[in-house]
């Protein structure tokens, strides 16, 4: 570990200033997002690869470019800096062609993905569907009986995958007293509140009640859906989610570095937001999706699941949902977003600016990890989408 003075020179603060109560706040999040296992319990998602990581690809192809954001031309490097970029990786036709790393970030640095983790969880469900171990129209309670009396008990797995469950829950990141704060504390992402009992993730999920509407209605963003899916994956596979992900995604996709996922006091994974991994390995997942589920010459994810994930979303459910204002024409399927743009790009998204963006028409895959001060920033989201569209249309020859 760096000596205190070296650490302070690198980050502008000392390690002992980073705590569970401030790790998501600026400036401490710059370091914390890269070192989650140091202060939150995690399970390793093992990499079995013995291949060395490919050499660094210089950022010059990015630095030399300008992009149009909201009609105004701006040097791309300035956009990266003002959107708090920690790393940007660009693949074209399966090759890494450009990448940018902020200070203290290298090829082995893992970064928390927050809700981009949901999309990885969706792929794990797809693998188990292909194995015949999960039925999409089956109720959650078939796999997780403890949730039988909760909002999720009679929701189908597909309802949960598409966030079309009816549940009384508000995703309010700044609320320190409501259900979202309870949710974070159950996952050990926030300090325990004095005078309140320590809940587990399962206990928290079991406490959520069904809303007045039936399942299968409009899209309603609710992170606990993804943690329900994590439990389904563990029960259907008979393995820890971290182990199943290691053998069924990391190994066959040839991911070079081990990942991790945060867990609660019982070892239950935070499938909705706890995965950390390197940007290049996340790009390799995006490339497999671009290639219809193939990687290293073999079919890893079924082409039917990939096709459904990238084009099977219900646009009416999206239009009536609570995210339609920032992504008109979009949709959501199997824990992935569909952009609805001319190139039919699809993507994952996590708070504080974590992205995996795949443009199948341009054969471009982009990963962007960030340490935005605010968890949700509508202007930042639109800026990043413009940036990705511009990069996808670059001529890199």
> Would the pTM of this model clear 0.95, i.e. be above it?
yes
Q: Which of 49, 66, 73, 115 is catalytic?
A: 115
User: Could you report the per-residue pLDDT of 313-351, keeping only the tens digit for each?
Assistant: 999 999 999 999 999 999 999 999 999 999 999 999 999
**Topology annotation, domain 136-230:** Methane Monooxygenase Hydroxylase; Chain G, domain 1 (1.20.58)
Angle at which helices 116-130 and 279-290 pack, to 10 degrees? 50
User: Could you report the per-residue pLDDT of 41-92, keeping only the tens digit for each?
Assistant: 999 999 999 888 988 888 777 878 899 988 889 999 999 999 999 999 999 9
| Domain residue spans of the chain | 25-123+238-392, 136-230
Q: Which CATH number fits domain 25-123+238-392: 1.20.120.430, 3.40.710.10, 3.90.550.10, 3.50.50.60?
A: 3.40.710.10
The bridge status of strand 294-295 relative to strand 298-299 is: antiparallel
How many helices (H) and strands (E) the chain has is answered by 16, 15
User: Could you report the per-residue pLDDT of 236-263, keeping only the tens digit for each?
Assistant: 999 999 999 999 999 999 999 999 999 9
115 is catalytic: yes
Mean confidence (pLDDT) of the chain:
95
358 strand-pairing partners: 346, 365
**Other C-beta atoms lying within 10 Å of the C-beta of residue 342:** 8
What distance in Å separates the CA atoms of residue 56 and residue 96, rounded to the nearest whole number?
9
Q: What per-residue confidence (pLDDT) applies to 242? A: 98
């Amino acid at each position: 570990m760096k000596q205190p003075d070296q650490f302070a020179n690198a980050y502008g603060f000392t390690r002992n200033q980073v705590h569970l109560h401030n790790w998501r706040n600026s400036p401490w999040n710059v370091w914390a997002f890269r070192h989650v296992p140091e202060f939150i319990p995690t399970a390793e998602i093992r990499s079995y690869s013995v291949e060395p990581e490919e050499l660094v690809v210089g950022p010059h192809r990015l630095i030399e470019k300008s992009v149009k954001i909201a009609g105004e031309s701006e040097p791309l490097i300035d956009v990266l800096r003002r959107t708090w970029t920690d790393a940007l990786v660009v693949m074209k036709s399966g090759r890494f062609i450009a990448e940018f790393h902020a200070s203290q970030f290298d090829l082995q640095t893992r970064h928390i993905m927050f809700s981009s983790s949901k999309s990885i969880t969706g792929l794990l469900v797809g693998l188990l569907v292909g194995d015949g171990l999960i039925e999409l129209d089956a109720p959650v309670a078939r796999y997780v009986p403890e949730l039988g009396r909760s909002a999720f008990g009679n929701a189908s797995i597909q309802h949960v995958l598409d966030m079309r469950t009816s549940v009384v829950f508000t995703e309010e990141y700044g609320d320190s007293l409501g259900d979202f704060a309870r949710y974070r504390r159950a996952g050990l992402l926030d300090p325990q509140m004095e005078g309140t009992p320590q809940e587990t993730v399962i206990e928290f999920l079991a406490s959520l009640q069904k809303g007045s509407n039936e399942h299968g209605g409009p899209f309603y963003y609710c992170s606990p859906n993804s943690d329900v899916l994590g439990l389904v994956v563990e029960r259907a596979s008979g393995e820890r989610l971290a182990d199943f992900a290691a053998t069924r995604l990391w190994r066959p996709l040839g991911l070079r570095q081990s990942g991790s996922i945060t867990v609660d006091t019982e070892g239950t994974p935070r499938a909705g937001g706890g995965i950390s991994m390197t940007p290049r390995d996340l790009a390799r997942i995006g490339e497999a999706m671009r290639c219809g589920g193939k990687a290293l010459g073999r079919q890893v994810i079924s082409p039917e699941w990939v096709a459904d994930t990238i084009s099977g979303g219900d646009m009416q459910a999206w239009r009536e949902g609570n995210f339609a204002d920032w992504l008109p024409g979009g949709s959501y399927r199997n824990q992935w977003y569909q952009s609805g743009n001319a190139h039919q790009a699809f993507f994952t998204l996590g708070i504080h600016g974590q992205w995996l963006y795949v443009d199948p028409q341009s054969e471009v895959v982009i990963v962007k990890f960030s340490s935005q001060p605010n968890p949700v920033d509508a202007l930042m989201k639109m800026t990043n989408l413009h940036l990705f569209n511009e990069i996808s249309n670059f001529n890199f020859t």
